Amino acid sequence: MSQILLNTAYFPNIQYMSKFVAYDKVIIEVNDTYAKQTYRNRCVIYSANGSLPLSIPVIKNNRTAVKDVQIDYIEDWQKAHYRAILSAYKNSAYYDFIYPDFENIFIKKEKFLIDLNNKILDLIFDSFGFEKNYQFTDDYIKNPDCLDFRDKIHPKKSKNFNDSSFKQAKYYQVFEEKYGFIENLSVLDLLFNEGPIGLKILQESIV
């Protein structure tokens, strides 16, 4: 059985989601130390002005484990993210079909980041009609006996691992005529534009 170890992610990108298709089992690390400026609390969508990063404010102390990181609601980030996603995808082919399933993400206030990310991941799998093949760590895995991809899918190019097993397959994007095709956005972009058949794009992106 092929296995891979990943971090948690907020509305993960296409590279991240392709691992669930490529591997029999995905293990998600939730006992690692939280790090700033990663996909744990951020995603990138395609707005009318090009790529747009969205991030969740969090509450943490030094060396806080990811499973213990709380979401900060002092700022109304839910409204901001909802408006950004609406503006970006309201004219996409599958927005009216896909968004209602995710609406509660921007209404209910989860206490912990990991709980929010896990709910999102479940919804993504349901939207693709893909069988869930992941589990979460009980303790930090120091010496994994599977492919360790923790912190290798990173928003900073300097820290992003050269992944020879992933090559983005193209699909329709709402603002492509304006800015061209943008690779490896949040899987939301794929879902809103291609719907459940976006699963084929994930499969075609595996080398």
When the pLDDT of each residue in the chain is averaged and rounded to a whole number, the result is 96
123: helix, coil or strand? helix
Q: 58-62, 130-134, 186-190: which range is least confident on average?
A: 58-62
Per-residue pLDDT at 159 exceeds 80? no
51: helix, coil or strand? strand
| Nearest C-alpha neighbor of 99 from the set 179, 191, 6, 186 | 191
Mean predicted confidence (pLDDT) in 28-44: 97
Side-chain-side CA neighbours of 164 within 13 Å: the count stands at 0
* DSSP designation for 165: T
Q: What digits encode the pLDDT tens for the residues 58-115?
A: 998 888 999 999 999 999 999 999 999 999 999 999 999 999 999 999 999 999 999 9
Q: What percent of the chain has pLDDT over 70?
A: 100
* DSSP designation for 195: G
Mean predicted confidence (pLDDT) in 123-139: 95
